[in-house]
Structure 1
Amino acid sequence: MKILLTGTTGQVGWELQRTLMTVGDVISLGRNQLDLAKPDTICQIIRDVKPDLIVNPAAYTVVDKAESEPDLAMMINGIAPGIIAEEAKRLGAAMIHYSTDYVFDGTKDTPYLENDRTNPQNIYGKTKLAGEEAIKSVGVNYLILRTSWVYGLHGKNFLLTMQRLAKEREEIRVVDDQIGAPTWSRMIAEITAQIVSQSQPNPSNFFASKSGLYHLSASGKTSWYGFAKAIFNDDFPNNERKLQRLIPITTPEYPTPANRPAFSLLDHQKLSHTFGLVMPDWEQVLQLVLAI
């Protein structure tokens, strides 16, 4: 299987380069080779590669900055995925795309199902939802994998930010009234590879029968404060750590340009039942990450 992978400089794309190598011939393209902000180049690159499967983790992910760059965020997150889907359909290829818990407004108090009403509260969420809808409208065989609170040892994310701040500050204030599930980028990549491996020996039939929207996130739940507390409970020798106090605060005490849902936990039973995969608990996964 020839796999075209986008966004290889991002958190999930970086991990996918390794995991997908076990299931196919991977052509990895970073932003320098395939920039989703430049739609004119997307079609030609896909036609040159002629992949059997396109895996698209590339995205505009700077949630607050998207509020001041809505057109760029929409191009990358909303319009480009539709163009990719059209090219995939033309080639008879399948597509895997990643979306976000931020398509929801956070007013629910139980985990969101795939068919729950979407109502994004920020530009990032709106553009990611537009990408989902663009892919669905094309009629390509697709998997859209919504995930949440992605972190890892590569790129920019909450884990690395907390580790850096712990060396710089004696006090860190972290929001304690937004609830979700931290999800390791490598876990997302490994589950993706396991799904792709199940498509053999007939990928076309597999993706046609499994085509749809799925939630992919770790099990369990916490707040950003709970996430930070777990990081510091298991990490940093005392002689490297300046941090003395971790203080829980409310969302209004930490205003940001983009609104974030107060509750964005995803129900991933559909993915587990369809592909026979178990989503590990976020705390157990974090302990693995911190041990690396």
Structure 2
Amino acid sequence: MRILFLGDVMGRAGRAAVTARLPGLRANWALDFVVVNGENATSGAGLSPEHAKALLAAGADCLTLGDHAFDQKDMLSFIETEPRILRPLNYAKTAPGRGARVFAATGGRKVMVAQALGQVFMKRPFDDPFSAVDAVLRAHPLGGAVQATLIDMHCEATSEKMGMGHWCDGRASLVVGTHTHVPTADAQVLPGGTAFQSDAGMCGDYNSVIGMEKLEPMRRFVTGMGKDRFTPAAGEATLCGTLVETDDRSGLATAVHMIRLGGRLAPSGP
């Protein structure tokens, strides 16, 4: 299978890039399944039902969230009615929605997608992501009930993301990091056959501070004081993500590619 994962969609610019480019990418790259992290798609904080519908209509098969999962309060009820949206597995025991699900891909094949939140440097303590992911992997063995498995590891520390990659090696098709909005240059297939990238980057305007207009973040860094709210940068967005190719029998990765299209970053792709 050919599975595309797109990193954190950041504000209006990120949404515009995804909705404009994804339909063509599905056709031109013969994609079998697409996952998009949408947790910053609405004003840089959370995902509204309206914007979720737009990303799904553009060709996403699944939307993952993150620590801002319910910043848009309508998502608390909408996620219960839209099974294609996943919140983190270890968010809270009483949180609505689900953190993992098996989806249908082309040709009747099955793809399991799960997301977990890291614990290192995060603003609030979350349950252990490693045990949460382990339980899901054991319940959906790769190459058996599912032909591919994708894990979105949403956290600050690259070490924690890499730890999750090795924890899942041989048991998942792709482990990819999100949350830090900067694409890393370490896309690789691990020894056990799992594709990994520490961070897929964001789909947003890179003439910014991780997707936000520069002035207010810079003011806070320089003075230690805030004056205004953060506002998503509105320039031309770069589409960033990870493309993995898998073997249907084993479910393991045969190739992985970093994706950068449009905007300010040097292009890369398959």
TM-score range, shorter chain: 0.3 to 0.5
Structure that is richer in strand per residue = 2
Structure that is richer in helix per residue = 1
Which of the two has higher C-alpha Rg?
A: 1
Of the two structures, which has the highest relative contact order with CA contacts closer than 8 Å and spacing of 6 or more? 1
Q: Normalised by the size of structure 2, how large is the TM-score?
A: 0.41
